[in-house]
Amino acid sequence: MPSSELSVVFCYVYVLFSEKSGTFYVGFTRDLKRRFAEHNKGLNFSTQFSKPWELIYYEAHTNENDARRREKYLKTTAGDQALHKMLRDKLAATRNFNQQKVYY
């Protein structure tokens, strides 16, 4: 099987958590390692004041439109509630998880 058939380009939807501010950040990227490093280096205006960030969840999609649609959903009230349900064990380990706010 040719190697070109095995290479798949993923798009990622990710959720970061800042213990410093008790907030979440939901984002989209094609390079998760690079983007995570940028957040923790303070290169993103939206997240620079709450670093360090912890990557608590991500999804890999093979279709960019699907990934962007999922990111948009996770930024809604219903998406925020779904995240809290999916990550309830992780969030229970953090303090004040009922008062955390999602930033976009």
Residue 4 lies in a domain: no
| pLDDT tens profile 1-21 | 455 566 889 999 999 999 899
- Please report which confidence band the pLDDT of residue 49 belongs to, taking 50, 70 and 90 as the band edges: very high
Question: Can you give the CATH number for the domain in which 78 is found?
Answer: 3.40.1440
Instruction: Report how many domains make up the chain.
Output: 1
Give the per-residue pLDDT at 8: 84
Residue 35 lies in a domain: yes
Residue 1 lies in a domain: no
Write the burial class of residue 89 (CB in 10 Å: 0-12 exposed, 13-18 middle, 19+ buried): exposed
Q: Please check the confidence at residue 64 and state whether its pLDDT lies above 80.
A: yes
Residue 39: its H or E element: helix 32-41
Retrieve residue 83's tokens. 């995240």
Average pLDDT, integer, range 31-40:
97
Domain that residue 34 falls in = 9-103
Residue 3 lies in a domain: no
